[in-house]
Structures are given as structure tokens and as C-alpha cells.
Amino acid sequence: MNIAESIRIALKAIWANKVRSFLTMLGIIIGVGAVIIMVAIGNGASKNITEQIQGLGSNLLTVYAGYSYYEGEGVRVMRSAPTLSLDDAAALEQGEHIQAVAPLVNTYGEVVLGSGNTQGSIYGTTAAYLKVRNKEMQWGRFFTDQEVADYKRVAVVGSRVVESIMGSMDPGIIGRSIKIENVPFQVIGVLKGSSTGFYYEDDIILIPITAAQLRLTGSKEVQEINVQAVSAEAMQSAQEEITSLLRKAHKLAPDQGNDFEISNQEDILKAMEEATRTMTMLLGGIAAISLLVGGIGIMNIMLVSVTERTREIGIRKAIGARESNILGQFLIEAVILSVIGGGVGILFGWGGSALASRFLGFPAVVTVSSVVLAVTFSALIGIVFGVFPARKASVLNPIESLRYE
Amino acid sequence: MLVVITLQGITKIYRTGEVEVTALQGINLHIARGEFVAIMGPSGSGKSTMMNILGCLDTPTAGEYILDGVKVAQASRKALAAMRNKKLGFIFQGFNLLPRTTALENVELPLIYAGVKRKERREKAIEALKAVGLEERIRHKPQELSGGQQQRVAIARALVTGPSVILADEPTGNLDSRSSEDVMAIFQKLHEQGNTIVIVTHEPDIAAYTRRIVRFKDGRIEQDEALAKSEEAPA
């Protein structure tokens, strides 16, 4: 008796009990679907975050003021001190691995235009910001270094700010005077909508750093300096250069620690990737458990099936079925159930991932590896959870089986 | 005379806990090719145990059983399955057809286990169903057939592999007298065609169709008589 015959017999048995077979498969369908969807969401999130971080600017290093960490007993305590200034930013521009420098002061405040008003992040910066952070203009222009030097009250706003205070994306905002924390500024440009998906990227108001310090924060403090290295390869050299330039500018003795912190885009990326990978594994793991439960469902039904079909097994044995034939029949039945379940589960997972993409706002990425993994796993479950009932069926005593009612 | 079944000192002892029950005690029996034998006896006489051993469903505790030249008394379960498939044809009181499976597929089943190719299998099965007069019913499922028809499908299934011995356990036990006559007429015909048939029954009417009656009592052969029409003397 060959495999084709065994498969035919198994398919007949599955077809003879359609509802029960479907309910059995449901466990595997949901399990496989869940694995695929969860892994797809994890992958999508990972890809999305990577793109977002890369979208923040290329070859970007960020220097934070006075953020020195105290480490001990597994805790990191962050202390801040106003240690960065515009002079530091000017000093950094001398570095040979440094292409552009954009110092930043940040405050949060109200923006008013006539009856329209909104809350937003207000950044004081310099003309280099546009380049350092990979930004593009929608309308108008960015402010110049001259305007920064002249404490000009001009502003470049994000698209969501325009929508909030004008009611729609209206180029008429250019030239209008808005009040930022009651200080009038003239709008000279609108930033192109962010591609990264971070909403707050579009909720910003950019003004010359000098005007921000004078009119809004009232201090000479600079919170962070964005530095663009000349190339991706130069990131490490640029980081070392920043350290030495700032230590010199701050006149730090060799035994003193840095009074600033440099954050590397790559480091953030790695940390985020690590986090999303962990999340993917967690989601996949939870889904795998449901797959396992589906497998136990198969075992349960197969055991019931063996009991129910004791007489059939007796008949088959009486007319010459070997134990291996019976074992094969029930095992193949279990494997077919889980493989069909796996197949339907893939479709379900695919559809579910597409649906999830709509709600998540980023595409869930179905990978071939997760499909292969889920199918292999479901076939394996068919074998593993099919062996016990099949074994039980194959060793039934034919005389007793024939008497079984 | 060609001997198909040889039993020598067949003994079967069942152990249930501490208690030993001797179901068969030193049975000696020879059945020749082409014989039509009835095994009779009251319940508990050991005839069912006899049938199970003859049918290679069970192995004796002691003794020698030679079926068609093969020693089967101490055979493995796998070897027993092969014997059941190739040398024996079973007919049961309760028909024991697979439900939701057509007559044709039921008859094909032993050939599937014998590894016969699909086309040849189909031809043989149809031939066997013709032999029992059911060629019109090959696509019917057991639940669509009468008891007599179901038993004829079972006979076709027993016949299809061309077995050395056809074993029937109370084949008319679930049938009315009309169907019983039909079924026994088929056995009669098969006997005339030269098949070796062993029937277990407690009905004298049925036994009367055969040529030899072996009576069991308390695990022993009480009487072994040849009927008048017999062409061959019992061994």
C-alpha cells in the first residue's frame, strides 16, 4: 500500500467528518495566522522605526547639554546642567569631519493667528537645521544666518501648525504675523510634511535661535547641538572630534568627565532594532503558543476519532491491514488536517496582515521565512500530536475492536 | 488430497488476573482443499476462539497451526496481518463493512492493503461483486443496501483476494430466512467452484448446507462427522 492510497483514505475520512475536521483545523488556522500576523507586525514596526530614525537626518550626531550619567547599582541617573552655548556650536564648525552644525533650544508654547491657535514645539535654531535634519520647504524659504545674527522675528512652521491655525493647508500663511507666546513673528516658510510618520515632526515652529533665547527662553542656554558628519564613515571620527573640541572649549581637566553627551544615530537605531526584535519574538512566541494549543486540539480530535472508529480499525485489520498501515492512515490524517489548516492559516495571516496595516498606519511586512516557519511548524505539530493517537489506533487488538460497538 | 489447515495440539489459555480459563484443549484438526465445513457448539464451547485462531486474529498458547504450508502459530503480528490479507477471507455476523464507503470500495480494501494497482483492483472487485450478484449495486453505500446485500458485499470482499480459506462467523445470524437462503446459496456455489469454506454456526439448518460438521464442547472436539453428500472423507 503506497502513500497515495494512504492520503486518499485520509482525505476520505476528513471529508466524511467535514464539520469536525474544520473545527480541528481552526486551531491551526488561527495559530498559523497569528504567527504570520504577529511577525509581520513586528517586522513592519521594525522597518518603520528604522526608516523614521534614518529620516531624522543622515550622519547625524546629537550633543546634549550637561547630560552626565551617574551609573551604579543598575540605575542611571541623569543630571543636566546648562553647559552648551552658541560659542560651542561655532567651535564645532571648525572640525574637519563635521559638515554642518545646528544648535537647538526647545520650548513648548502657544501659537496664535487671529482666532486660530495651537500648541506646538518651538525650536530656536540656525540656517543649517534644514540640511542637518533632512528637511525640505513646502512654500516660502528658511531663515538665513544673517537673520539669525540679527535676532530677526521670523518663523518657519510645520504643516500641522498651518492646518491648526489656518483651518487648512493654506499658502496664504506666508507673510502673516503670528504670535508665539505673545511675541509677534512673521511667517516666511512652511516645511514639507514629514515622511517619517512622526506627527510631532509636523507640529513644530522654527525661529532663529537668537530670537528664541532673547524673547522666549530668556537664557543663553543651548539644549542640544545637531551635528552632521561629512560621511557615514566619518561618524566615529566626528564623534571623537566633537569630544575633543568641546572639552577644549569647556576647559575640562583630563581627570574631569565630559559635561555633555553625544548620541549617535546608529546607536539609537541599534537599540530600537533590538527592541523591535524582542517585540517580534515576544509576539511570535505568544502566537506560537496558540499554534501549540491548536496541535493539542488535533491530538484531542484524533483520539476521539480513534475511539469512534475502533470498529473500522478492527475491520481493516481483519482484512489484512498491518499496524504500519493503520499508523500511517491516522498520522497522515493528522498531518493533512494541520497542513490544510496551515494553508488556510497563511491566507488568513496574509489577509490579517493587510488589514492590520490599515489600522496601524504602517505596513505589516509578511516575510517568506515566517510563512515557511509557520507551515513547517504546523506540519510538525500534525506529526507530533498525531503520533500518539495513531500509535494507539495501530496497536488495538483486532478481536476486541471488532466486538466494539 | 491437499491439506489447507492443519491443527496439532492447539491449546488456548486465557489469563484474567489469577484465574486461568482453558478455551481450547489440544485440538487436532485437518481441513482439506475444497472442503465445506461447519463448526458448531454451544456458547463457551471454544468455537469462537477456534475461529479467531483459524483467522490469524489470535495466536494459540500451545500447539501447531499450519495454514497453506505456513506455520502461523508463533508468527509475528505483521506476518499474521499478511496471512489475513492473502490467505484468508473473513465474513462476519455483523457484516463489518466500512460505513460511508461504496460496495466497490469496500471490496477493493483488501486489495489496497495487498498493494494491487488501481486498475487491476477495480477489475477484480467488480468481478467479485458479479460473483455474488451485486454488479448493479457497486456504487451503493452499506446503509443503502439490505442486510442480505450487505452480507453479499462482505462475501465479495472475502473472495476478492482469492484466499486459501473463507472463514464465516455466523454469516446468517443477522439475516431473515429469505436472505439466509440467498447467502447460503452463494456459499454453495463457491464450494462447487472449489473454494475451502469454514462456517461457524449454531443453526442446524445452516450446517446442513455443509459437507462436514465439527462439534465443539468444553474446548474439545466432541464429534467430527461427514455428511452424506461429501465427496471427500474428513481427515
CATH number reported for the structural domain that contains residue B46 in this entry: 3.40.50.300
A314: which chain B residues are within 8 Å (Cβ-Cβ)? 96
| Min distance A44 CA to chain B CA atoms (Å) | 49
- The whole-number pLDDT of residue B232 equals 47
| Min distance A386 CA to chain B CA atoms (Å) | 22
- Arithmetic mean of pLDDT over chain A: 85
Inter-chain CB proximity A323 and B84 less than 8 Å: no
**Number of domain units in chain B:** 1
Q: How many residues does chain A have?
A: 405
- Arithmetic mean of pLDDT over chain B: 90
Task: Report the largest interatomic distance among the alpha carbons of chain B, rounded to a whole angstrom.
Answer: 55
Q: Is the pLDDT of residue A388 over 50?
A: yes
- Strand, helix or coil at B22? strand
Asked if residue B9 is part of any domain, the answer here is no
Asked if residue B19 is part of any domain, the answer here is no
Grid look-up 466524511 returns A16
What is the residue range of A161's domain? 82-258
Asked if residue B170 is part of any domain, the answer here is yes
Which of A9, A320, A324 is nearest residue B84 as measured by Cβ atoms?
Answer: A320
Nearest CA in chain A to B82: A320
A297 lies in the same domain as A395? yes
CA–CA distance, B112 with B133 (Å, rounded to integer)? 23
Which of B52, B109, B157 is nearest residue A399 as measured by Cβ atoms?
Answer: B52
Asked if residue B49 is part of any domain, the answer here is yes
Q: How far is CA B153 from CA A7, A275, B104, in A?
A: 25, 67, 8
- The whole-number pLDDT of residue A126 equals 94
A232 lies in the same domain as A300? no
Q: Is the dihedral of CA A93, A97, A100, A102 positive or negative?
A: negative
| Min distance A328 CA to chain B CA atoms (Å) | 12
A106 lies in the same domain as A249? yes
Q: Using one digit for the tens of pLDDT, what is the confidence trace for B59-106?
A: 899 999 999 988 987 788 889 999 999 999 999 988 999 888 899 999
The more confident residue out of A233 and B170 is B170
Question: Which of A195, A226, A258 is the last residue before a domain boundary?
Answer: A258
- The whole-number pLDDT of residue B105 equals 92
State the virtual CA torsion across B90, B95, B98, B100 in degrees, nearest 10. Answer: 150
Asked if residue A70 is part of any domain, the answer here is no
- Strand, helix or coil at B43? coil
- Strand, helix or coil at A39? helix
Asked if residue A365 is part of any domain, the answer here is yes
**Terminus-to-terminus CA distance in chain A, angstroms?**
28
- Band the pLDDT of B233: cuts 50, 70, 90: very low
A245 lies in the same domain as A297? no
- The whole-number pLDDT of residue A196 equals 56
Q: Is the pLDDT of residue B234 over 50?
A: no
Asked if residue A71 is part of any domain, the answer here is no
DSSP string across B85-150 = HHTEEEE-TT--PPTTS-HHHHHHHHHHHHT--HHHHHHHHHHHHHHTT-GGGTT--GGGS-HHHH
What is the residue range of B197's domain? 35-59+75-226
Inter-chain CB proximity A402 and B96 less than 8 Å: yes
For chain A, what percent of residues have pLDDT higher than 90? 20
Q: Is the pLDDT of residue A335 over 90?
A: no
DSSP state of A19: H
**Number of domain units in chain A:** 2
Question: Which of A258, A283, A304 is the last residue before a domain boundary?
Answer: A258
A280 lies in the same domain as A382? yes
- Residue B227, chain A, CB below 8 Å: the answer is no
Determine if residue A133 is left, alpha or beta; phi over 0 gives left, psi from -120 to 50 gives alpha, anything else beta: alpha
**Terminus-to-terminus CA distance in chain B, angstroms?**
9
Inter-chain CB proximity B157 and A320 less than 8 Å: no
Asked if residue A68 is part of any domain, the answer here is no
Residues 6+ apart with CB under 8 A from A291: A28, A31, A32, A34, A35, A374, A377, A378, A381
CB B188 within 8 A of CB B195: no
- Residue B174, chain A, CB below 8 Å: the answer is no
Asked if residue A98 is part of any domain, the answer here is yes
Asked if residue A75 is part of any domain, the answer here is no
A125 lies in the same domain as A179? yes
CB A55 within 8 A of CB A405: no
CA–CA distance, A331 with A318 (Å, rounded to integer)? 20
Inter-chain CB proximity B114 and A320 less than 8 Å: yes
- Residue B92, chain A, CB below 8 Å: the answer is yes
Question: Which of A202, A226, A258 is the last residue before a domain boundary?
Answer: A258
Inter-chain CB proximity B96 and A318 less than 8 Å: yes
Selection from A396, A389, A388, A392 nearest residue A318 by Cα: A396
- The whole-number pLDDT of residue A82 equals 66
* Residue among A18, A305, A309, A315 with most chain B CBs within 10 A, to mutate: A315
A125 lies in the same domain as A39? no
Segment 3-22 of chain A within 8 Å of chain B by CB: 5, 9, 12, 16
Bridge partner residues of A261 (DSSP)? A64
Inter-chain CB proximity B110 and A319 less than 8 Å: yes
Asked if residue B145 is part of any domain, the answer here is yes
What is the amino acid identity at position A157? V
* A109, three cell numbers: 508654547
Selection from B34, B18, B87, B26 nearest residue B62 by Cα: B26
Asked if residue A116 is part of any domain, the answer here is yes
Q: Using one digit for the tens of pLDDT, what is the confidence trace for B20-64?
A: 889 999 999 999 999 999 999 988 888 888 999 999 988 899 999
Which of B81, B100, B101 is nearest residue A320 as measured by Cβ atoms?
Answer: B81
Asked if residue B30 is part of any domain, the answer here is no
DSSP state of B9: E
Q: Using one digit for the tens of pLDDT, what is the confidence trace for A257-268?
A: 788 888 887 777
A210 lies in the same domain as A311? no
CA–CA distance, A156 with A185 (Å, rounded to integer)? 10
- Residue B193, chain A, CB below 8 Å: the answer is no
Q: Is the pLDDT of residue A291 over 60?
A: yes
Give the mean pLDDT of B113-140.
92
A93 lies in the same domain as A238? yes
CA–CA distance, A148 with A151 (Å, rounded to integer)? 5
A201 lies in the same domain as A275? no
Helices (H), A167-264: 209-211, 235-249
Inter-chain CB proximity B85 and A319 less than 8 Å: yes
* Residue among B52, B54, B77, B164 with most chain A CBs within 10 A, to mutate: B77
A251 lies in the same domain as A282? no
CA–CA distance, A279 with A269 (Å, rounded to integer)? 15
* Residue among A7, A319, A323 with most chain B CBs within 10 A, to mutate: A319
Which of A12, A16, A319 is nearest residue B113 as measured by Cβ atoms?
Answer: A319
* B218, three cell numbers: 468444553
* B191, three cell numbers: 464450494
Compute φ and ψ for A251, nearest 5 degrees.
50, 50
Asked if residue B147 is part of any domain, the answer here is yes
Asked if residue B25 is part of any domain, the answer here is no
Which of B77, B90, B113 is nearest residue A1 as measured by Cβ atoms?
Answer: B113
| Min distance A32 CA to chain B CA atoms (Å) | 32
A251 lies in the same domain as A214? yes
Which of A1, A324, A399 is nearest residue B115 as measured by Cβ atoms?
Answer: A1
Bridge partner residues of B21 (DSSP)? B14
Asked if residue A74 is part of any domain, the answer here is no
CA–CA distance, B7 with B23 (Å, rounded to integer)? 15
